[in-house]
Amino acid sequence: MYISLPCLQNLININHLNSTLDSFDNKIGLAGFEIEETVKEEILKRANLRVKIATTANRSDVLCLIGLSREISYIFQTNWIQNRKIRKILSNSQRTTNNNNDINWNQKLDSACIEFFYLNINLNNSIKIPRWIKRRLNAANFSTTDTLLDLTNYVMLEWGCSFQSYDLDKLEHSSKIKEKTFTIEKLYNVKESVTSYKDQKYLLRDSTLVDKYNEVYIGTSGTCIKNGFEITKDSENILVCAYSFSPKQMRQSIRSSGIQNEQTIRHEKQIGYTNLYVAITRLKTLISFLSPTAFLELNSFKTIKRNQEQSKLISIRFSSVLNTLGNLNTSSVEEQQKIIAILIKNLGLKVKNINFKKVDVVVPFYRQEDLKEEIDIIEELARGFGFNNFQSYLPSKEIVGKLSKTYCIEEKIRKFLINFGLFETYHSSFCSTDKQGPSLLNPLNSEISSIRSTLINEFISQYNYNKNNNKTLINYFEFGSTFAQDSKKNLLESRHVGGIFGENISKDIWIMEDYKLDWFKAFGLIKSLLNYLKIDSTIHNIELSKSTSYLHPYRAIEIRNNKKVLGYFGNLHPKILAAHNIEENLYVFELDLEKITKVANLNSSSNLKYAPYSKLPSMSYNFILKLDACVNYALVEKEIKNEIGRLLNSIQIFDIKQNKSNLLIGIKIILQSDKETLIKKNMDNKIELARYRLKEKYGIQFL
């Protein structure tokens, strides 16, 4: 969203920030916003500083000058200077619309429309747009047209509510029917290309919400006007529509049509319908002021009976605030409670009741969409106080830690499968290929319409993709979550490990030749893994179901421990191989990690002692050692430790290769001290001495 800082100064006092834009940027960033761009320019012979601010997704109320100025005044703890006319509009909580008008509208509104107003305008004289409105529009990156469209864009900039302005004479000329029928409906079984009045092409598809006048399509609801029905400088009879839609159905409509403009941005983030009447009243006031002879009639089809004073009450416990945020830079509990009370007042919340334990606050109408619980308000208090103002400390003592059994088992499985020649991969839990997985209610697109019930489906797609693109990475495994639903439609999540590999296993960096697997050797991998984890297991014939339909009907088994099913192993189903044009036999497995963890006979990890990081830099050396195959590498590592001593941080192996008589080992030696900075010349001497000892004792060559 683009804003003009001089324009913002009409609403809040930020004059002291003109020369320190960096401090403005920093404080805005700490509050959760981001300044993406700043432009210094001259607009209509006046200097301007234009700023592009990225707002958070859940704050539709700040997509306008009024909301953003209110938010910035809270962040900077400064006064919000409300214009007299704005105060007058806000104080007018009684909605007055004329439903007995001369135009007999037959309204047919889709259920997606929450609230709808229209303003019937008859301009006796052309309206002249003031320079201050043009200047503010240009500063916010809006183009001006010298028509009523400039006023609707300005009110959208000011209040965040978008309007659709139609030329009534053009609407009536398009239809020969005398009865005036305005319809908002959702399209079905339609695919049509349409051009807007700005010569932009878009599509009408299923789920697109459209406006119709006497059954003639005139525009997409709230977002775009069809070419031929827009207003011009010569327009006298104008229909201005103000909408509020269900955000879910509006997002579907916008995606289906592909329209992207200022209106769609606000509709996607749900225009606060509490501002809709205020915005249309503001527009009516501006038109009356600029064109006193104009005939204006405000009407409504569908309105929500909502009083702006009817606000929500939330209790905030002081203990919850302090437990969540920590001490507020003061040791006194009373002082901390005073700071919290001041922050609540500055946030625009009305204190209803306060005592030494809690404070009851009233959430204003414009924040009821995002302030729903106690924790939401605590987060706002943190933003107002400033995240950089909280007390921070690091633990000074060494902490005794302990790795969980689940983590240890996953690491053992990971090392085992990598040593066997499989590569670890990651896939999203969202997919389109899993028909058994739970479906999403409102997916962004068809490719992520469900969540997976098994890891295997994504393996098959990825395997086929790699093979078709001549990729060598075709044997891999994954740790990930799978999902299911119980009889009550509750979502159940479990963590699995699964893998896929072919008949040919290649070992490029280990002491092993390439070899070919048959079914029994392939199952030996899984059996060896279970033995490695000290799990007693038995195999049983599997009865294929919807959840295991990917397995071969005769070459698949179920792995059990007593009566617990740990997982499955087998060939892929021939139909799946044929569907993906795969000629090679593929083996797949999937194990339930939660069940594996319970039955694995492993001791939980030994206690580990965590030490603080050294504040001094490290120094590393990379070598390739060439040694006889009969030399024990453990002795080589021991010799290096003896020569370098306490300065040795670690020795890491990054590659191993072997020919008939020699072994090549790539190692990385890391040196570091916790007391002094290492001097390269001294470390080079130590490394050279270690190389000499290894060559003398074991005949090792350094390549």
d(C-alpha 249, C-alpha 223), whole Å = 13
Per DSSP, the three-state class of 408 is: helix
CA–CA–CA angle 245, 270, 241 (5° rounding) = 45
Q: Which fold is adopted by the domain 321-389?
A: Phenylalanyl-tRNA Synthetase; Chain B, domain 1 (3.30.56)
Q: Phi/psi class of residue 145: alpha, beta or left (left: φ > 0; alpha: ψ in -120 to 50)?
A: alpha
* pLDDT value at residue 47: 80
Locate 507 and state its tokens. Answer: 């070992």
Task: Name the residue ranges covered by the structural domains of the chain.
Answer: 2-82, 106-302, 321-389, 405-599, 613-702
Which CATH superfamily includes the segment(s) 106-302?
A: Phenylalanyl-trna Synthetase, Chain B, domain 3 (3.50.40.10)
* pLDDT value at residue 100: 47
* pLDDT value at residue 670: 92
What top-level class would CATH report for the domain 613-702? alpha beta
d(C-alpha 477, C-alpha 479), whole Å = 7
Decide if 291 contacts 155 (C-beta within 8 A). Answer: no
Q: Give the residues across from 354 on adjacent strands.
A: 359
Q: What is the CATH architecture assignment of 405-599?
A: 2-Layer Sandwich (3.30)
Per DSSP, the three-state class of 128 is: coil
Decide if 638 contacts 694 (C-beta within 8 A). Answer: no
d(C-alpha 181, C-alpha 106), whole Å = 5
The percent of the chain in helix, strand and coil, each rounded to the nearest 5, is 35, 30, 35
Decide if 2 contacts 24 (C-beta within 8 A). Answer: no
423-424, strands of its sheet edge to edge? 423-424, 476-485, 491-501, 587-592, 564-572, 551-561, 538-541
Q: What averages of pLDDT result for each successive group of 10 residues across the chain (703 residues)?
A: 75 59 68 76 78 76 81 73 53 50 54 80 84 86 87 88 88 74 76 70 80 85 86 88 81 81 77 73 88 85 53 83 75 77 80 84 78 86 76 62 83 87 86 76 78 86 78 80 86 91 60 66 88 88 76 88 89 85 84 91 59 79 87 87 89 80 87 87 90 89 84
Q: Which of 577, 567, 575, 572 shows the shortest CA–CA distance to 588?
A: 572
Locate 93 and state its tokens. Answer: 């909580």
Q: Give the residues across from 554 on adjacent strands.
A: none
- Would you give the DSSP letter of residue 622? E
In sequence order, which residues have a C-beta less than 8 Å from that of residue 697 and are 6 or more positions away?
639
Q: Which of 388, 343, 308, 402 shows the shortest CA–CA distance to 609?
A: 402
* pLDDT value at residue 582: 79
d(C-alpha 253, C-alpha 575), whole Å = 38
2-82: in CATH 3.30.56.10: yes
Burial class (CB in 10 A: 0-12, 13-18, 19+), 432: middle
Locate 691 and state its tokens. Answer: 């190389």
| C-alpha distance across the termini of the chain, in Å | 59
Fold agreement between 2-82 and 321-389 = yes
Decide if 33 contacts 102 (C-beta within 8 A). Answer: no
pTM of the complete model beyond 0.75: no
> How, if at all, do strands 701-702 and 648-658 pair?
unpaired
